[in-house]
A = this chain, B = another copy of it.
Amino acid sequence: MQVQRKAADRSFVALSRRENHDSLTLIGVTRTFGRDQAIFGEGDSAQFVYRVVSGGVRSFRLLADGRRQIFAFHLAGDVFGWTTGAEHASDAEALCDTTLIVARRSAVLDDPDQAPALARHVLRELHRSRDHLMTLGRRAAAERIASFLIECAERQDSPPEIELAMSRQDIADHLGLTIETVSRTLTQMQSDGLIHLNGCRRVRVVRPRTLAQLCQ
């Protein structure tokens, strides 16, 4: 799975086709990025799109005073970097050491064979984005955290223990909360017996039902 991690920055051509339900095909070079390294920035020309091979990515936008909203975390298999116009409308940074496949945007966008898959792909993104809107607009802090944990669990095929790829600050900026509220809520959930924290990056869901009820 992990190709050339920490090796040469660019390696030769790689082909990637995701199996489950997204049939977008990306052909391009692989590149590696270190923790917090920028992949692209708002306003950069959007020549490329990306697929995560290993590691993780946050995509986000900033307000003038530094407030940050993380729209999505992209993990292994995810494709990201689409825009309407010629420029990126958000920033993207690696969460940790990360390997990506980098493909020319036009190669996918202008390929009529790929257009239906692209439309479906973006439609799924939009759906996820609307779940997220529901969370930010109408859910309380504990409900946001519960949704987030459940989403993380599902993306990892609901293992006994969730591995968080991101920091508390990232979670806070994803959920429209502060780092303190995230921390407090997790601690509270642990003392309520909902979850068990095993270090700050590992969460075992003890009562999945009760957690799920929190987000209705």
Contacts and interface: CB of A to CB of B under 8 A. Distances in A.
Interface stretch (A132-140, A148-156, A160-168): A132-140
A84 B120 CA distance: 6
Contacts of A192: none
A84 B216 contact: no
Contact of A216 (B63, B118, B129): B63
A134 B89 contact: no
Interface in A53-74: 61, 63-65, 67-69, 71
A79 interface: no
A32 interface: no
Contacts of A173: 137
A101 to B, nearest CB: 20
A131 to B, nearest CB: 9
Chain A: number of interface residues, binned into ranges: 35 or more
Given A112-B112, A115-B115, A138-B63, A126 B122 contact: yes
A112 B130 CA distance: 26
Interface in A3-37: none
A98 interface: no
A119 B125 contact: no
Interface centre among A83, A116, A119 (most CB of B within 10 A): A119
B119 A112 contact: no
Contact of A119 (B69, B71, B115): B115
Contact of A71 (B61, B64, B82, B133): B133
Which one of A127, A134, A174 has the greatest number of beta carbons of chain B within 10 Å? A134
Contact of A127 (B89, B120, B123, B174): B89
Given A63-B138, A69-B138, A119-B119, 8 more contacts: A64-B216, A109-B116, A109-B119, A112-B112, A115-B116, A122-B126, A133-B136, A136-B136
